[in-house]
Amino acid sequence: MITAAPKTGCMRTMLKLFFITKFKQLCHYNNNPMRFHSTSYIQPSSAKHSLIPILDLTNSYRFSTDRIELAHEIDEICKNIGFFIITGHSISEKIQDDMMKVSKQFFDLPLPLKKEISGSKDYPYGYNGLNDENLSRGYGKSSSSSLADIKESFSIGPYNEDPIRWPTKPENMSTIWLQYYKECERLAQHLYNIFALALNLDLNWFDQKIDTHRSALRSLHYPSVSLPLIDNQFRSSVHTDYGSFTILKQDSIGGLQVENRLDGKWIDVPFVQNSFVINLGDLMSRWTNDRWVSTPHRVIVPSQNSKDGFSVARQSIAYFSQINPNEIVTCIPTCCSVDKPVKYPPIKSWDLVMEKYLASTGKKIK
């Protein structure tokens, strides 16, 4: 339960907000709009849709007033762009580096070894090769690409459900992946707590919805290819993520872009050392009755990162946070009212996710 802050705490928070607002105004006029927390206080409305805010979580782990303040900021961001970058998240750089390294070793293996574990309708994880996926097919809008994404990936599901199918090499893959998965699980729990506050719910409202979650961890490799690409071909074609939200680690190569919903222009997601990109998925948007948005994004080959007519390879790691597979997704109580009637019929969370997954892998086209 959230308890009301004592009056002195209230005063302190108000004063703090006042000074933060003033500080942010200064930052803004110094042409540095990216490095502060909120989008809500000073930016013109178009900026709410065209900046990827950077949030430092450090104090939100320690002080409830900071958690509440952060929750307000996150609510604004999730209403407008649904993407933000977090620092101060408590996942060590060593664990992140190990995960990148072991994934690279896997992708460097000969194709038959990588294909030992392939995904199917019954096991939607394992290896997906260069022609296996077109994310925009699941997205199904006119801006979709008809060409496969130029990427390969390896994914796992939860460690406490069916046994995970591991490749035979590299040997330490399972240890490092499980460690990374569990760190993301912890970070996701913290984010759910903040999301609950942002939606005016009890801090622990999401706990029972995620205690048997079926989140997936996926490592992505975008190989070096000769340029120029065929028109309309992408490393990851335009899509929205399917589930609750994504915790993404990207390397410094660049190329991840988010669509500005107001003018359709593409916004680059900057690389920030030791950070994660958080973006909402379709399930969260539906669950909140569209109070929060699941924003289209894609990965292009950035022109500044090519060498001798070839693109430089890129790597990323995505943890797709899902809720319990049997949870019925129906409007979160604080997101619907007489003025905001429920928009969507109830649906089982796993059905929602699988529908899109199968469409993007061509196993079932919508």
Residue 274 CB, nearest distance to ligand AKG (Å)?
16
Residue 286's binding partner, choosing from ligand AKG, Fe ion, none, with beta-carbon cut-off 5 to 8 A by kind? none
Strands 83-87 vs 54-56: parallel, antiparallel or unpaired:
parallel
Closest CB to ligand AKG among residues 291, 314 = 314
71 contacts 79 by C-beta, under 8 angstroms: no
Q: Beta-carbon neighbour count of residue 119 at 10 Å? A: 20
Residue 282 CB, nearest distance to Fe ion (Å)?
11
| 117-123: long-range contacts, CB 8 A cutoff, minimum separation 24 | 117/154, 117/165, 117/166, 117/167, 119/155, 119/361, 121/358, 121/363, 123/162, 123/165
Closest CB to Fe ion among residues 67, 297 = 297
What's the CA gap between 272 and 269, in Å, rounded? 9
Residue 235 CB, nearest distance to ligand AKG (Å)?
7
| Contact between 299 and ligand AKG per CB under 6 A | yes
81 contacts 48 by C-beta, under 8 angstroms: yes
What's the CA gap between 39 and 59, in Å, rounded? 19
| Contact between 85 and ligand AKG per CB under 6 A | no
| Contact between 280 and ligand AKG per CB under 6 A | no
| Contact between 291 and ligand AKG per CB under 6 A | no
> In the structure encoding, which two tokens stand for residue 128, read together?
């997906």
| Contact between 359 and ligand AKG per CB under 6 A | no
| Contact between 316 and ligand AKG per CB under 6 A | yes
365 contacts 359 by C-beta, under 8 angstroms: yes
> In the structure encoding, which two tokens stand for residue 236, read together?
């990851």
| Contact between 256 and ligand AKG per CB under 6 A | yes
What's the CA gap between 94 and 251, in Å, rounded? 14
Per-residue mark of binding to Fe ion, 231-260 (x: CB under 5 A): ----------x-------------------
**Alpha carbon distances (Å) from 178 to 95, 97, 190:** 11, 14, 19
| Contact between 318 and ligand AKG per CB under 6 A | yes
Residues numbered 160 to 189 that lie near Fe ion (CB under 5 A) are none
**Of residues 39, 134, 236, 289, which one binds ligand AKG by CB under 6 A?**
236
154 contacts 247 by C-beta, under 8 angstroms: no
Closest CB to Fe ion among residues 241, 327 = 241
Strand partners, 315: 221
Residue 241 CB, nearest distance to Fe ion (Å)?
4
- Binding-site size for ligand AKG (CB under 6 A) equals 10
What's the CA gap between 342 and 232, in Å, rounded? 37
Residue 49's binding partner, choosing from ligand AKG, Fe ion, none, with beta-carbon cut-off 5 to 8 A by kind? none
Q: Beta-carbon neighbour count of residue 283 at 10 Å? A: 24
Residue 251 CB, nearest distance to ligand AKG (Å)?
9
3-class SS of residue 49: coil
Residues numbered 116 to 155 that lie near ligand AKG (CB under 6 A) are none
> What letter would DSSP give residue 58?
G
**Of residues 248, 258, 329, 335, which one binds ligand AKG by CB under 6 A?**
248
Beta-carbon contacts of 125 under 8 Å, excluding residues fewer than 6 positions away, are 117, 119, 155, 156, 157, 164, 165, 216
Residue 64 CB, nearest distance to Fe ion (Å)?
32
Residue 217 CB, nearest distance to ligand AKG (Å)?
11
> What letter would DSSP give residue 207?
G
Residue 257's binding partner, choosing from ligand AKG, Fe ion, none, with beta-carbon cut-off 5 to 8 A by kind? none
Closest CB to ligand AKG among residues 53, 138 = 138
| Contact between 241 and ligand AKG per CB under 6 A | yes
Residue 13 CB, nearest distance to ligand AKG (Å)?
36
| Contact between 149 and Fe ion per CB under 5 A | no
Closest CB to ligand AKG among residues 288, 316 = 316
Beta-carbon contacts of 264 under 8 Å, excluding residues fewer than 6 positions away, are none
3-class SS of residue 27: helix
Interacting residues with Fe ion (CB under 5 A): 241
Residues near ligand AKG, by CB under 6 A: 220, 236, 241, 248, 250, 256, 297, 299, 316, 318
